[in-house]
Amino acid sequence: MVDCRLKKGSPANYFIIEAVQCWMNKEGKTETLSLLRGMSIFYYDAWIYGSSLELRKRNVHHDRIYDICPAVIYPRMKVIPELTRNGFKGAFYDICPSSFFMTLLTDNRMEILYKAGQMNLFLRFLERKYGMDKYWTYIKICLRHNYVIHDADLWLDYVDMLIENKLDARNPHYLCPLNVEEAHDWVMGKCKKKYSEKDEKDYIAAKSRFFNLSFADGNIMVRVLESLSDFYKEGKLLHHCVFSNAYYKREDSLIMSAMVDGRRMETVEFSLSRMEVCQCRGKSNQLSAYHDRILNLVRDNIPLIRERMVV
């Protein structure tokens, strides 16, 4: 942590306070030293500066606290030989270094993706670990055919729809399209998805605590989709698979519609476990001119989403 003390007529005094140390061995096992933290619902970094670095327990709930993604990384470093063996060449791709190193040392499949240059898939499964077992067979086929996936979320949706339509998802002809966007739209047109009354009830039971949640910035408004008919309209108007691929069944996802002057502009998928945007896409899975403003609006209102988690 960097702190600055200012006094009129005097130069600024900067103080550097070490808040966390993460120690890791060649097997990827870690121990964490950190300062004490004050209790806070909204802030991870409420460090108590007068405390000392001590061993802290670490679990899935604490990963976001201790896996700090720095704004700047000192370029001169030495790493253990095992990291070099597993493909590390010095770039972090805006990934938290401790998470990056732990993944390369402990997950053989992620190591394979990294070495094969499948960085979009690597980053997707690093952020959201679920689904690797489901898709690994199809990923291996792509690796054998040297097919690089540049848009992981779109390609994974495409694979889901191939399976849904009982097409041969293991056939490279389908699995490795020259234009994944066109292939995605083609198979989406084959989907005749219908939802049942049970699907509607399940969605209401899972997400009703978030209903009526909305936030606005000028002419932009983001609101939660509250029914399966909302999902259908969203997918039809924006020509993507939020309905046909049953996003309403995703337990960890909160799906929101971003509207500009009352027109649907982008669909936002938000992770409830990680409290961050998974993807935000407009018509035909493209980004709109309002994309950055929509992302910032959602991120600025994460505390409102978190409040609904405890309702």
How many angstroms separate the CA atoms of 308 and 210, rounded?
Answer: 6
How many angstroms separate the CA atoms of 67 and 64, rounded?
Answer: 5
How many angstroms separate the CA atoms of 145 and 238, rounded?
Answer: 32
Question: What is the structure's pLDDT at 65?
Answer: 76
Show the tokens assigned to 300: 């600025």
Question: What is the structure's pLDDT at 192?
Answer: 64
Taking only the tens of pLDDT, the chain with its 311 residues reads: 777 889 889 999 888 888 888 899 999 898 889 898 877 666 667 888 889 999 988 765 556 677 777 778 888 888 999 999 999 988 888 888 888 999 999 999 999 999 999 999 999 998 877 788 999 999 999 999 999 999 999 999 999 989 988 899 999 999 999 999 999 988 888 776 666 788 899 999 999 999 999 999 999 999 999 999 899 899 989 989 899 888 999 999 999 999 999 999 999 999 998 888 999 999 988 999 999 999 999 999 999 999 898 75
Question: What is the structure's pLDDT at 147?
Answer: 97
How many angstroms separate the CA atoms of 53 and 21, rounded?
Answer: 8
Residues of the chain with CATH 3.40.630.30: 197-309
| Residue 31 three-state SS | strand
How many angstroms separate the CA atoms of 213 and 303, rounded?
Answer: 12
197-309 CATH: 3.40.630.30
**Cβ neighbours around 219 below 10 Å, total:** 12
Alpha carbon of 243 to those of 194, 230, 256: distances in Å?
Answer: 9, 9, 13
Which residue, chain included where needed, has tokens 């699995």?
Answer: 175
User: How many CA atoms, within 13 angstroms, populate the side-chain half-sphere of residue 291?
Assistant: 11
pTM, rounded to two decimals: 0.74
**Residue 100 — φ and ψ, nearest 5°?**
-60, -50
Please enumerate in sequence order all residues whose Cβ is within 8 A of that of 43, keeping only pairs 6 or more positions apart, or say none: none
Question: What is the structure's pLDDT at 297?
Answer: 96
| CB 283 within 8 Å of CB 239 | yes
| CB 112 within 8 Å of CB 84 | no
Question: What is the structure's pLDDT at 311?
Answer: 58
Show the tokens assigned to 266: 């982008």
